[in-house]
Amino acid sequence: MKGFGKYWGYIALILLLTAWWTTKIGPGVLIVLSVAVTLYFLFQAPIWCGAITRDETLCRRNASGLLLGCSYRQHKWQKLKMAVVPPMWRRLNQGLWTSPATGLATIGTILGLVSGFAGLVKSMLE
Ligand SMILES: [Zn+2]
């Protein structure tokens, strides 16, 4: 169960995508699932840290989520800083595609955000 628990967000993402194809599912469910998926990929998904180390390579230590770095406190700060300072977004973007898992987490976050927004619009239209 431990291994499975780490990856629940991927299952939630598949559920979310399936939910969009099923017209019977209300926007409330879509919004809740979208928020869960977004938070999972930002703060919990097991991926590489992706912070830039002193020798200009990307850190490959294990981290939780796109927003949090590995256990180095400096990397955590660097990632948070990259997320809020626009000139650093290009470097942040580099770190978002360091491995297939990281790329998938990035896509998952974007899908979660778009789907959450679309769910909100949908709920207003209905
Ligand atoms: Zn790191």
The count of structural domains within the chain is 1
Q: Would you give the distance in Å from CA 116 to the centre of its chain?
A: 13
How close is the Cα of 79 to the center of ligand 1, in Å? 9
In the numeric block, the tokens 């930002």 are attached to: 42
Residue 126, domain member (yes or no): no
In the numeric block, the tokens 């840290």 are attached to: 49
Residue 83, domain member (yes or no): yes
pTM: 0.87
Q: Tell me: the pLDDT tens digits for 4-52?
A: 788 999 999 999 999 998 878 889 999 999 999 999 999 999 999 989 8
How close is the Cα of 40 to the center of ligand 1, in Å? 19
How close is the Cα of 70 to the center of ligand 1, in Å? 4
Domain range for 110 is: 2-121
Q: Tell me: the pLDDT tens digits for 72-97?
A: 999 999 998 988 999 888 888 888 88
DSSP element (H, E) containing 42:
helix 27-43
